[in-house]
Amino acid sequence: MISAVFLWLLSACSGHENEKGKNTLIIYHEGSAVCRSSLLALTTKLHLDVVYSLKTMNALVVGGISDRHYHQAEQAYKNKKCVYGVNKDEVNIMPE
């Protein structure tokens, strides 16, 4: 019975494997309040969503980026002086 439930749980997750990380950026920044405020203002200006705010890691994860504007959004965050790096959020699935 337990193994049947476990297999059901594993199969339930497989339908969402491509949704996570799609057009999502992780922005690593200095931890100042001024920088966070500036990044949140840029996120609002670009009409993007804050997916996660990782305060202990000084990172902001933004999503809702269209394919057409992905590189423009990435460059806008990279141009901020308080940003250390911008990475595409990726999900790697182990083969079965």
Query: φ and ψ at 56, to 5 degrees?
Result: -70, -25
Nearest one of 73, 68, 58 to 24, comparing CA atoms: 73
Confirm if 25 and 50 have CB atoms less than 8 A apart: no
Which residue would you say has higher pLDDT here, 94 or 3?
94
Examine residue 10 and state whether it is found in any structural domain, yes or no. no
Examine residue 38 and state whether it is found in any structural domain, yes or no. yes
Query: Beta strands of 1-96 (E only): which ranges?
Result: 25-29, 49-54, 59-63, 83-88
User: Which pLDDT score is estimated for 92?
Assistant: 76
**What are the pLDDT digits (tens) for 38-50?**
999 999 999 999 9
User: Which pLDDT score is estimated for 90?
Assistant: 78
Whole-model pTM: value is 0.72
Total residues found in the chain within this entry:
96
Examine residue 25 and state whether it is found in any structural domain, yes or no. yes
Q: What is the CATH number of the domain that holds 51?
A: 3.30.70.80
User: Residue 59 is part of which domain span?
Assistant: 19-88
Q: Which two tokens stand for residue 61?
A: 């994860």
Domain count across the chain:
1
